Amino acid sequence: MTTLQNDTLIRALLRQPVSHTPVWLMRQAGRYLPEYRATRQRAGSFLALAKTPSLATEVTLQPLDRFALDGAILFSDILTVPDAMGLGLYFIEGEGPKFHHPVRDEAAVAALRAPDPAGELRYVTDAVSEIRRALNGRVPLIGFSGSPWTLACYMVEGGGSDDFRTVKSMLYQRPDLMHRILAVNVVAVTAYLNAQIEAGAQAVMLFDTWGGALSDAAYREFSLAPMQQILAGLKRHDSNGTRVPSIVFTKGGGGWLEAMADLGCDALGLDWTVDLGAARARVGHKVALQGNLDPTVLLSSADAVERETRRVLASFGSGDGHVFNLGHGISQFTPPEHVARLVDTVHAASARGSAYQSP
């Protein structure tokens, strides 16, 4: 594989010295870009887009052609794994993802099997390989998966939820069933991420989108513990012996930073409710930190984008181990020129040798 021309992201995730704070954005390939919308229309559906490696490659590279981002993230969906389990993923406009066959009783739980990444999920690893070739060493490629708990939320609820009453009721009433679902998901996600690494992913990320919906005890048992099992089974190096960093992001996870820092990952993603400086003091030198601008800032003015971007940089302070990102995925209503202002501000304000300026 081609040597990386810009390895700033990898170095920051490993808490090594960098020339500037690297930046990438969750959902950076998406509906806020007119070129993405055009490709999506050409594909005919979101699933067709995600399941066609050439189109997934095209949209993965679109934000890199517009902005000086320091990383690419595989264009895919966190629900590819349960879809490959046969749950029947589909999308309703304005309502998000749904499953034809939610997992809600003993028989459905007993029937769950981890999919083969080389079989039902081959289109994902093919996309990873194709994206790596297309990037040609410009920036690193990040692979990802949903966490076992977050996948379980969709699998049991049958889609998104405001209160997660179905999955949380199962958790409390039949913890044995929930542990069985999570055990299958651990096997599935570990194999899935390792397959992405084998195909060329240079960093991997676990999205624990719904961990923050749990109580403290439930989070530790049903979200944190399964993620720790995955990290213990992850490949730490690619076929050339190059280190592959791992990132864990629990939305609403600010209360568990110390426990998350002990998971065995290289970096923690933070949502916008956490002060970066305080988080840095809490986790010490165990992990790098990724985040954490409120995505809504990008819907305001260009000047506000620059001011709040500088505020995030100042919150982390000087030194290494910071990857700039949003505190969650970018909004579809974001003006692309505001993303350009954010990226340019991060690079200019964090260039080593220039002082951080408080807002």
Query: What DSSP line would sit under 38-54, residue for residue?
Result: HHHHHHSSHHHHHT-HH
pTM: 0.96
* Closest to 109 (Cα-Cα) out of 20, 171, 201: 171
pLDDT of residue 354: 54
Asked if residues 298 and 339 have their Cβ atoms less than 8 Å apart, the reply is yes
Active centre residues (catalytic) = 27, 31, 40, 77, 154
- For 78, list phi and psi in degrees, rounded to 5: -70, -15
Token pair of 16 as six digits: 């090594």
Compute the distance between CA of residue 328 and CA of residue 27 in angstroms, rounded to an integer.
8
pLDDT of residue 352: 78
Report DSSP state, residue 159.
B
* Closest to 217 (Cα-Cα) out of 265, 252, 172, 155: 172
Q: For residue 287, give the amino acid letter.
A: V
CATH of 8-350, one of 3.30.470.20, 3.40.50.2000, 3.40.50.720, 3.20.20.210: 3.20.20.210
Compute the distance between CA of residue 161 and CA of residue 243 in angstroms, rounded to an integer.
37
Rounded to 10 deg, the angle between the 302-316 and 276-283 helix axes is 20
Mean pLDDT by 10 residues, the chain (359 residues): 90 97 97 97 94 98 98 97 96 87 97 97 98 98 98 96 95 98 98 98 98 97 98 96 97 97 98 97 96 97 98 96 97 98 98 55
Helix (H, G, I), strand (E, B) or coil at 76: coil
Compute the distance between CA of residue 73 and CA of residue 141 in angstroms, rounded to an integer.
6
Which residues are CB-neighbours of 126 under 8 A, at least 6 positions away?
53, 199
Compute the distance between CA of residue 101 and CA of residue 89 in angstroms, rounded to an integer.
9
pLDDT of residue 94: 77
